[in-house]
Amino acid sequence: MNSEKPAPVKKICIIVSKGSLDGVYPALIMANGARMEGIEASLFFTFFGLNALNQTTLDDLKVATVGNSALNMAMPMLGLPMTMPFPTVLGALPGVSNFATHLMNKEMEKLDVPPVREFLELISDSGGKIFACKLAMDMFKLKKEDLWDGVDDVLTVGQFYEESAGEGTHILFT
């Protein structure tokens, strides 16, 4: 029996490397949830994750329907059993990703989960920090002005680790 209280999570730093809707939402939800618990939160968008900060793409993120062998999970959104398979070749058909995205957005709205732009604002307003990765910005030829206005800073990897310093910090990669 250990009567000591476990050391709490004080800060969570989430590295977002995927730019699909289903790749981005979990990180946003975890960051917002942290702030709601009084835990500091920062998001570091890198590689394709920058899709979620790019002004021209962030409102149109899509659910990945190719190479996602768990898409059967989405079947209940159509009123079909979760055990029904979703062959990946179907996911490549025109419009399927758009349709899956539409379904997910609709379910999210029902659960009061905001669209990506509003979600970024919510996290930022709650004191969470939004960072973009400098190396990935250079690779994708992006400038800070191409990004959503609320981005706190463009950081190098070293600066991100500095920003993550502190006892009780946890770093997650998604």
Partner 1 sequence: MKKTIAGTEVDVNEEGYLTDMNQWTPEMADAIAGEEGVAPLTDDHRKVLTYLRELQAQHASITIRGVGKSGVVTTKELYALFPGGPLKKASKIAGIPKPVGCI
Minimal distance in Å, beta carbon 163 to partner 1?
20
Minimal distance in Å, beta carbon 90 to partner 1?
31
Please state, in angstroms and rounded to a whole number, the distance separating the CA atoms of residues 2 and 12.
Answer: 25
- 10 or 102, CB closer to partner 1? 10
Q: Is residue 12 within 8 Å of 39, Cβ to Cβ?
A: yes
- 85 or 127, CB closer to partner 1? 127
Minimal distance in Å, beta carbon 157 to partner 1?
29
Q: Is residue 30 within 8 Å of 115, Cβ to Cβ?
A: no
- 117 or 161, CB closer to partner 1? 117
Return all residues near 151 (Cβ < 8 A) that are at least 6 apart: 53, 130, 131, 132, 144
- 45 or 119, CB closer to partner 1? 119
Minimal distance in Å, beta carbon 124 to partner 1?
9
Place of tokens 């950081």: 155
Quickly count: other Cβ atoms within 10 Å of residue 80's Cβ. Answer: 12
Residues forming the site for partner 1 (CB under 8 A): 29, 32-33, 35-38, 111-114, 118, 121-122, 125-127
Return all residues near 108 (Cβ < 8 A) that are at least 6 apart: 25, 114, 115
Minimal distance in Å, beta carbon 111 to partner 1?
7
- 172 strand-pairing partners: 14
- 113 or 171, CB closer to partner 1? 113
Pairing status of strand 129-133 against strand 40-45: parallel
